[in-house]
């Protein structure tokens, strides 16, 4: 069965520091991969997605993610974190085209940013 | 508003009561999804509509849960004989298509069953 693992439940970084949030997936074929952010009082917002092609994907708000098939990973990165980045981050996988609806989600990583 | 709207934002009810949660998707989005998010968990797929029909309801946990989308726009998630375990945030999302289109989520309806 497909699954998504986000090993870090909670991460704290200082403002201006770099960030990497880990995501590992279990799926037999090449999955469709997503990162969403959930801020307090707001709905989930798509940061970026990977379907095919270039394995380094650029997203909104200065985020990027790299798909590594050999490691079954899709880690999210940002070179310099801003206080407004404090939120819950979810990695999700869709088992192929046409299955956008049946996203399988990780448990999320809560990011705190120290001033 | 241009986003997905969900009402009520909060609902407290007693065990055994009936609850309706409403979702108003982005105009023009034909695909609509309901997810459920329990505390400390990621969202869990419940049901998906393409137009007026439920194309996939395999995520509904049991027959106490039912959802409709009679005119292909607004959807209502209905929960009968609520149980304490139904307490969660119910998320609605919409998208232009059901394949690779981006999901746009509402803020959710927080249901608490006492």
Mean pLDDT, contiguous 10-residue spans, chain B (114 residues): 90 98 94 93 91 90 96 96 97 80 89 97
In whole angstroms, give the CA distance from residue B21 to residue A84: 30
In whole angstroms, give the CA distance from residue A75 to residue B94: 26
Would you call A40 exposed, middle or buried from its count of C-beta atoms within 10 A (0-12, 13-18, 19+)?
exposed
| CATH of the domain spanning A3-114, picked from 3.30.70.80, 3.30.460.10, 3.30.360.10, 2.60.40.10 | 2.60.40.10
CATH number of the domain where residue B86 is located = 2.60.40.10
Could you tell me which of B27, B25, B3, B11 has the C-alpha nearest to residue B78? B11
Query: Does any CB of chain B come closer than 8 Å to the CB of residue A41?
Result: yes
Residue B101 DSSP class: P
Residue B64's domain spans which residues? 1-9+24-96
Residue-range domain boundaries for chain A: 3-114
Query: Does any CB of chain B come closer than 8 Å to the CB of residue A32?
Result: yes
In whole angstroms, give the CA distance from residue A113 to residue B31: 36
What residues in B contact A102, CB-CB < 8 Å? 45, 48, 56, 59
Domain count, chain B: 1
Q: Is residue B111 assigned to a domain?
A: no
Query: Does any CB of chain B come closer than 8 Å to the CB of residue A46?
Result: yes
pLDDT in tens, A13-28: 999 999 999 999 987 6
In whole angstroms, give the CA distance from residue B13 to residue B82: 8
Which of B7, B24, B99 is the best substitution to test chain A (most A C-beta atoms within 10 A)? Answer: B99
Distances, alpha carbon A58 to alpha carbons A47, A72, A77, A78, B30, in Å: 9, 19, 10, 10, 27
pLDDT at B24: 97
Q: Is residue B42 assigned to a domain?
A: yes
Mean predicted lDDT score pLDDT of chain A:
91
Residues of chain A with pLDDT > 70, as a percent, come to: 94
């Amino acid at each position: 069965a497909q699954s998504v693992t986000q090993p870090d439940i909670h991460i704290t970084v200082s403002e201006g520091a770099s960030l990497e949030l880990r995501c590992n997936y279990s799926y037999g074929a090449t999955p469709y991969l997503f990162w969403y952010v959930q801020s307090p009082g707001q709905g989930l917002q798509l940061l970026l997605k990977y379907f095919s092609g270039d394995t380094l994907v650029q997203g909104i708000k200065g985020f990027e993610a790299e798909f590594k098939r050999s490691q079954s990973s899709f880690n999210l990165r940002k070179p310099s974190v801003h206080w407004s980045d404090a939120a819950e981050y979810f990695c999700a996988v869709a088992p192929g085209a046409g299955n956008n609806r049946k996203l399988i989600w990780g448990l999320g990583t809560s990011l705190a940013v120290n001033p | 508003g241009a986003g997905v709207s969900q009402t009520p934002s909060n609902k407290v009810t007693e065990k055994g009561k009936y609850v309706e949660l409403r979702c108003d998707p982005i105009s023009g989005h034909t695909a609509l999804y309901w997810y459920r998010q329990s505390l400390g968990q990621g969202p869990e797929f419940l049901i998906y509509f393409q137009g007026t029909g439920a194309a996939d309801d395999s995520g509904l946990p049991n027959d106490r849960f039912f959802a409709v989308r009679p005119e292909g726009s607004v959807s209502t998630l209905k929960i009968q004989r609520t149980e304490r375990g139904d307490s969660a945030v119910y998320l609605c999302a919409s998208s232009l298509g059901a394949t690779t289109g981006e999901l746009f989520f509402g803020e959710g309806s927080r249901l608490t069953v006492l």
